[in-house]
Amino acid sequence: MKNPLQLYQLLDKSNCRLCLLPSCMAFAVAVIQGKKDITDCPRASPETIAAVNGKVTVRKDIAEEQQERLIGLKQALAAIDFAAVAERLGARTVPEGMAIPCLGKDFVVDAAGELRSECHSNLWVQVPLLNYILHGMGKKISGRLVSFAELPGAADWSRFFSHRCERGLEQLAAAHPDLFFEILDLFGARPVSGTEADRSLCLHPLPALPLVINYWEPEPGLDAKLTLLFDDTAADNLPMDAIYLLCQGLVEMLRALIAKHSRDGKLF
């Protein structure tokens, strides 16, 4: 049992908080992370305890997981002929390796999987980018936009995506609208016309992976709203877990930049 959703289905879903966590889903995540035991749920039935005991594979810290994944991606990259795949991926070969446009900047990848760019590179960028090189089919963008949940294979990720990615960006945009959109402009975002949103921008985290950000400003009685849309070919050009990680990374990068450049140094 590796997925918190598997465990969540066995709980009573009452969100009673007797485990000292805010919800049954939070408890399920804590058990999978090894921070709680199934017996810490006062409402867990003997049948549930028996079904879970000894069957949970404790998850490692996400940064540790991604670091291990990065090692495997770098090893696989050694077999890739950059010249053969560059055009398909919307990239180009350079003396150091291959240059891939990412968020309006070039990221140069060498044969060892190391990245060089004028932007700060971290796991949030490096893992999806190497995944793109290894697994991207280079499928032509169709222009048909869909939500994350509509992408093939999104079922296991959509609940977390809505909360951690869309909601995360929504909070930043509402708290720092001017700075939020100034940063997106620096990342190469371009206005999209013909939408009902107050602000609609298209961002290219990767050449064959456009991302449309729709934002509705808060109004009396209504909170701000932000949604993300993808080309329906997105899952052909990047694995679903890498799409999720890429969007979560975008949230983390914006959080760091806004905290650094906001007037008071605060996010909220």
Task: Using the predicted structure, report yes or no on whether residue 120 has a pLDDT greater than 90.
Answer: no
- Residue 224 has what pLDDT? 96
- Residues 228-250: pLDDT tens digits? 999 999 999 999 988 998 998 89
pLDDT band of residue 59 (cuts 50, 70, 90) is low
- Residue 121 has what pLDDT? 61
Angle at 164 between CA 163 and CA 168, to 5 degrees: 95
Mean pLDDT of the chain: 90
Q: Which CATH class is domain 4-52?
A: mainly alpha
- Residue 67 has what pLDDT? 81
Span 201-229, mean pLDDT? 96
Residues of the chain with CATH 1.10.15.40: 4-52
Closest C-alpha among 106, 110, 266 to residue 188: 106
- Residue 249 has what pLDDT? 87
- Residues 143-167: pLDDT tens digits? 999 999 999 999 888 878 998 899 9
Transcribe 87-99 into DSSP letters. Answer: TTTT-EEETTEEE
Burial class (CB in 10 A: 0-12, 13-18, 19+), 163: exposed
Span 251-256, mean pLDDT? 90
* Distance of alpha carbon 189 from the chain centroid: 18
pTM for this one? 0.75
Task: Using the predicted structure, report yes or no on whether residue 60 has a pLDDT greater than 70.
Answer: no
Taking the C-alpha atoms of residue 198 and residue 177, their distance in angstroms, rounded to an integer, is 12
Cα separation values, 192 from 120, 196, 213, 243, Å = 27, 10, 9, 21
Task: Using the predicted structure, report yes or no on whether residue 34 has a pLDDT greater than 90.
Answer: no
Span 123-133, mean pLDDT? 87
Beta pairing, strands 145-147 & 225-231: antiparallel
